[in-house]
Chains A and B, each alone.
Chain A
Amino acid sequence: MAIDKIFKDEASEEKGERARMASFVGAMAIADLVKTTLGPKGMDKILQSTGRGREVTVTNDGATILKSLHIDNPAAKVLVDISKVQDDEVGDGTTSVVVLAGELLREAERLVATKIHPMTIISGFRMAAECACNALLEKVVDNKADAEKFRSDLLNIAMTTLSSKILSQDKEHFAKLAVDAVMRLKGSTNLESIQIIKKPGGSLKDSFLDEGFILDKKIGIGQPKRIENAKILVANTAMDTDKVKIYGARVRVDSMARVAQIEAAEKEKMREKVQKIIGHGINCFVNRQLIYNFPEELFADAGILAIEHADFDGIERLALVTGGEIASTFDNPESVKLGHCDLIEEIMIGEDKLIHFSGVAMGQACTIVLRGASHHVLDEAERSLHDALCVLSQTVNDSRVLLGGGWPEMVMAKEVDALAKKTPGKKSLAIEAFSRALLAIPTIIADNAGLDSAELISQLRAEHQKEGCTAGIDVISGSVGDMLERGISEAFKVKQAVLLSSTEAAEMILRVDEIITCAPRRREDRM
């Protein structure tokens, strides 16, 4: 008597070889998908959303591409997940991590086909990953002590990161922007205080870093357009009609006269509140919530610049740069800390008017204004810049630096190969495979640039047999070159994260020998 079924309808089960194949194929498909975006000559992808409007995104950022995919294959989801984590954790290398994991699985598939147990492969991979990581550690350069050198390191890293993005034409300009912005943070990794404002129009070159703070708001009518030596009160309070918050309160009146009285009282209340605010001795008032016409008029009368509806982020940043506190009650003017800045003025960028705070008390925050031909360009530029900022802020904390252009992969591959020769047993095959997977990354970079990868990689390998070699692939000239001379650097932290999380992901997928898929939850048609 056969079992009819133990699972529910539509639930499916894949076993052994089939399961493994399904996950290999899925993972490799994802890796191949993003493979062509790798490196300075990588291509972009167009993503079209399924939502209304069919919005289009053009990007080269691995994490962005993978995030937007609808994936059904569970192994592919693992890869998407590691790319997301890489994005959150270090910000860059989101493509590399997926490609490396894909290559590892491709190698593993070959080994499994020759009847090597997945567990043996895993233990080989682990040894290899550890060895590779140590090899990198030996070669890192740390220039933290030398401020001048450190800055040039940062510039190099930023340029390397940006060179694979849309900003590559103006990478020097943007690298400088990014480094300046990050240096202002003084070691904190809080990227919120770097504000990026996108304004279509102009060219990418017109983008600039502003030392002060720019708020994308308009100044109220009839209020001063320019204030010198401003005292700013940053607030989060209701400036529409100040409701009574006590639960269940309602107004109940029996005649028109009473209504007028209550209205007058309300107005009086608001007037008092405004008076209290003015009593702080300020000449600029920024509120998170709306400011109605009536209080706005009052402020205008008092010659105070009132800015309404600055969102949460804006308020927090403004408080941060001007050194004021975010206030919600106004009874004790003497103890509220006010923000200061030298000059507030309205400026024009393109067609839009913005409010510019300059000469702020605390120089931690800054604003980068991006200009570009279209929204797509600006969005992609923001993503690229974000990547660069993330990498830089991480590098400021962990200042170890490596060379780029496939150099770290070659170094790792060499050490891992050496380990494979020393290791007895079947594991050595897996270790060898790991080194092949590492070599795949420079190969792909070369391929994407339309170069003869086989020739270049073998040349590079020969170069790396020498002690203290600094050779890598120079995509621009299409030959093997000295990375140190060309100033191509990468952050150690990024490389380490790529190595560790891709090995971890590959290991996880390799360990699976059965896939059980539950019946998809029925969705009601909301059409």
Chain B
Amino acid sequence: MALAFDEFGRPFIILKEQEQKSRLRGLDAQKANISAGKAVARILRTSLGPKGMDKMLQSPDGDVTITNDGATILEQMDVDNQIAKLMVELSRSQDYEIGDGTTGVVVMAGALLEKAERLLERGIHPIRIAEGYEMASRISVEHLERVANKFEFDDSNLEPLIQTCMTTLSSKIVNRCKRSLAEIAVKAVLAVADLERKDVNLDLIKVEGKVGGKLEDTELIYGIVVDKDMSHPQMPKQIEDAKIAILTCPFEPPKPKTKHKVDIDTVEKFQTLRLQEQKYFDDMVQKCKDVGATLVICQWGFDDEANHLLMHRNLPAVRWVGGVELELIAIATGGRIVPRFQELSPEKLGKAGIVREKSFGTTKDRMLYIEHCANSRAVTIFIRGGNKMIIEETKRSLHDALCVARNLIRNNSIVYGGGSAEISCSIAVEAAADRYPGVEQYAIRAFGDALEAIPMALAENSGLQPIETLSAVKSQQIKDNNPHYGIDCNDVGTNDMREQNVFETLIGKQQQILLATQVVKMILKIDDVISPSEY
């Protein structure tokens, strides 16, 4: 295959260890790639929409995950094929960028690949297909911009935000209490949002879960919840108007980083060293006390003696608090993280209205609530649920909802869901296709067809007749010139998504189309796959 001859007619080998590699080239390579991409899309197809099914994934260690979030499914799948890995990346980048629509983007890419395969069979060059797709994606993105609606919201009218989050949540297992979860998500995002800069730092929202209770018990806490308890069992369990010292230095004797030895050779030295040590502990605690702290939160452990001294001086303390949590506490309480006792000062202390310990269930599970903080910009969503898997899935679903709310604050344009945006794009692309001369026209038309894959999958998953429903909705859109008709997944009785309050964010949709097109272009351009063959 890759055997070449030099000018003297001697064969030489281009690839190292050539016999051990398997190789695919030309149309075969493209077709193999396309079918791999399609296979991944096929797995996700049934998870799309409010009636989509879940997938059960068993990890190498035997842990079970049940989810319907595209990004999670793909991430946990043990994928070996290179092209399939590209699809996994695709869904991941949608997750990073937008947070929602991770399933849709893969289904879209799968549909594009499927259409491309037909065009390839007709002998159209892959690059021409890729270019056609590129043009078509530009058309649809522009079209989306045109059909998008701006909507206004403010603190008194959160309804539109909540509705959009509900659309996201309705496809998850938590849809039983989507209303309350959507409200929690919106409130959480608004609490941390910087409305002037239109920026939301989702890191300030901590999502903590604990098994037990009901999903309905999930709550939003304006403060921080830490899965820790007081270092000494007899410290007070509730502190009001707490002044918090946030430390990253242990209550232990110093451990200089340079190697050293303290030699004890006389009794006097032994005595002084002992006194020193005692004084050291005493100083540490006294310093915290002197600056007026009423609660110490420390990243490291405590020595028994220090622990008792703290208890003795009536200074409650929490130990082994993780770095991320420590930062959140610092943000929430407006305190500074202090790396050394010497640098403690009253203005570096954080303030919280109330700190309390709360216990759960029959086992000794305790958590520490820090509430009514000086700066309520950090919030915690505390999830309860019947079992671990529900909690994990709720975390993922809430993450999606939080992302959606954030995107709306960044850009308050929305398009309508239920496949209506895709159908209307498809109409626009198909209309535009005829104006392009050349082979690209076919590719553009194919793109228009591929866009219909999402409403088609939605209809299929909802138990409707896919082709019939889709054609009905499409003709209705053209007839009424109204881009808001979509698939009626929940059997409500109307196709108008505006009435059903099914929204999606504009940037999410646009990103889906752009990302899917990009990946498909990349896959189409590959004409040679070299992989080490099995040993």
A residues adjacent to B (C-beta < 8 A) = 1-9, 11, 13, 19, 23, 72, 74-75, 77-78, 81-82, 84-85, 87-91, 117-119, 126, 189-192, 236-238, 244-254, 258, 261-262, 264-266, 269, 316, 319-320, 325-329, 331-332, 335-336, 390, 393-394, 500-501, 504-505, 507-509, 511-521
Contacts and interface: CB of A to CB of B under 8 A. Distances in A.
B35 to A, nearest CB: 4
Contacts of A504: 215, 385-387, 390
Interface in B446-487: 463
B152 interface: no
A265 B359 contact: no
Contacts of A23: 56
Interface in B51-87: 51, 53-62, 64, 66, 68, 73, 76-81, 84
Contacts of A82: 386-387
Contact of A505 (B40, B60, B80, B387): B387
A-B pairs, top 6 by smallest CB distance, nearest first, are A328-B308, A513-B53, A521-B60, A501-B386, A11-B78, A89-B212
B80 A8 contact: yes
Nearest to A264: B267
A24 B265 CA distance: 74
Contact of B57 (A87, A191, A516, A520): A516
A247 B274 contact: no
B16 interface: no
A244 B274 contact: yes
B53 A245 contact: no
B386 A6 contact: no
Nearest to B303: A245
Given A326-B308, A332-B312, A515-B55, 17 more contacts: A81-B388, A85-B388, A190-B364, A236-B308, A245-B277, A246-B254, A246-B262, A247-B254, A248-B262, A251-B263, A325-B311, A328-B307, A508-B389, A517-B57, A518-B76, A520-B60, A521-B61
B387 A5 contact: no
Contact of A254 (B40, B260, B265): B265
B359 A248 contact: no
Interface residues of B, number: 85
B51 A8 contact: no
B386 A329 contact: no
B195 interface: no
By CB atoms of chain A within 10 A, which of B54, B173, B463 has the most?
B54
B56 A250 contact: no
A99 B211 CA distance: 20
B309 A88 contact: no
A interface SS class: mixed
B150 interface: no
A515 to B, nearest CB: 5
B386 A5 contact: no
A264 B55 CA distance: 71
Given A269-B274, A316-B233, A511-B54, A236 B31 contact: no
Interface of B: 28, 31-32, 35-36, 39-40, 43, 46, 51, 53-62, 64, 66, 68, 73, 76-81, 84, 173, 176, 211-215, 232-234, 252-256, 259-267, 270-271, 273-274, 276-278, 280-281, 303-305, 307-309, 311-312, 359, 361-365, 385-390, 463
Contacts of A251: 263-265, 270
A508 B254 contact: no
A85 B211 contact: yes
B277 A247 contact: no
A10 to B, nearest CB: 8
Nearest to B216: A500
Contact of A7 (B78, B176, B308): B78
B387 A512 contact: no
Contacts of B276: 246
A514 B55 contact: yes
A81 to B, nearest CB: 5
A514 B312 contact: no
A514 B305 contact: no
26 contacts: A1-B32, A3-B81, A6-B36, A7-B80, A7-B81, A11-B78, A78-B389, A91-B362, A244-B264, A245-B253, A246-B273, A248-B259, A249-B273, A258-B266, A262-B267, A326-B232, A328-B305, A328-B307, A328-B308, A329-B309, A394-B362, A511-B54, A514-B46, A516-B55, A518-B59, A519-B60
Contacts of B254: 246-247
Contacts of B55: 512-516
Contact of B234 (A78, A265, A326): A326
Nearest to B82: A6
A75 B56 contact: yes
Contacts of A119: 51, 53, 463
B16 to A, nearest CB: 23
A436 B249 CA distance: 61
Contact of B362 (A237, A249, A336, A393): A393
Contacts of B385: 504
B35 A2 contact: yes
A514 B234 CA distance: 51
Contacts of B32: 1, 3
B387 A85 contact: yes
